[in-house]
Amino acid sequence: MGNLTDQYVTKYFEIEDHLINILQTTPYIHQFIHGDPISGRITLYLIILGGLALIQEVWVSIEMTLLQKETYDELNVGRIDEGIKLHRMILNDDYHSKEYKDEKSGIIVEEFEDMDKFFSKPVHVSDVFVDSYVIANGKNVLEKPLKYHIEFSPEDFESERRQDFGCSLHVLRLKLYHLFKDSTLFNEYNKGNPFTISGNVRIYNTNNEVLATNIDEVQLCFLKIETGDRIKCEFIID
């Protein structure tokens, strides 16, 4: 048994010496060794630790991506009301962290949710592209759609209960309303009829589903809309 152990130790030092010799000729890294075996071992050890940390980080990133993809697959395939149900469930649950006072020690303890649950939540929408049409008497009056690029800043969702999920459908509807209301096209086609946010701005998600005004409080990431998506809007002129 002792001879076998000695063989493994000898083999290890042979591999270690070989790797240190490689590091001594590697640009930039060689300056940390200076021909000293101890410095060489420390440098090799740090490189191994760094490599393991990098592998772990890549693995976590892959897991996070797969969890998020699974969430979006469920949201995009399911009905809109399933996304709304998830949204309301999260709003009523302090899922991210909970604080409580330990009765024995008197210390405030903060308890975070499991990583897989944290990453399985949808990500807030930071911007969307919108193809907008003007509908008069049931017909589109534009040869080409109005193209808007809507970006959302933290100020747009600072009043949300869960700000980490971004802005609501109402914010998007309001932005589109003002963009069209302040344009020359509005004055050209509107003949003095009432034009309201709730009644005349119709928004569709990426699946071409109408997003009704009764879900305006729901945040966009639960309504089959992701950052960078191209969606559709209709301005109804009666």
Tens-digit pLDDT profile for residues 163-191:
889 999 999 999 999 999 999 999 888 88
Could you tell me which residue, 64 or 130, shows the higher pLDDT?
Answer: 130
Count of CB atoms within 10 A of residue 95's CB?
Answer: 15
Q: Which residues contact 134 (CB under 8 A, 6 or more apart)?
A: 140, 141, 142, 146, 180, 185, 189, 234, 235, 237
Cα-Cα-Cα-Cα torsion 31, 35, 36, 40, nearest 10 degrees, comes to 60
**Rounded Cα gap, residues 22 and 44, in angstroms:** 10
Residues 96-120 have a mean pLDDT of 65
CATH class of 127-237: alpha beta
Crossing angle of helices 2-24 and 37-77, in 10° steps, is 90
Residues 91-100 have a mean pLDDT of 63
Structure tokens belonging to residue 235: 């301005």
- What residue spans define the domains of the chain? 2-62, 127-237
Q: Which band of pLDDT confidence, cut at 50, 70 and 90, is reported for residue 84?
A: confident
Half-sphere exposure of 128 (CA within 13 A, CB side): 29
pTM of the model: 0.68
Residue appearing with tokens 């191994």 = 48
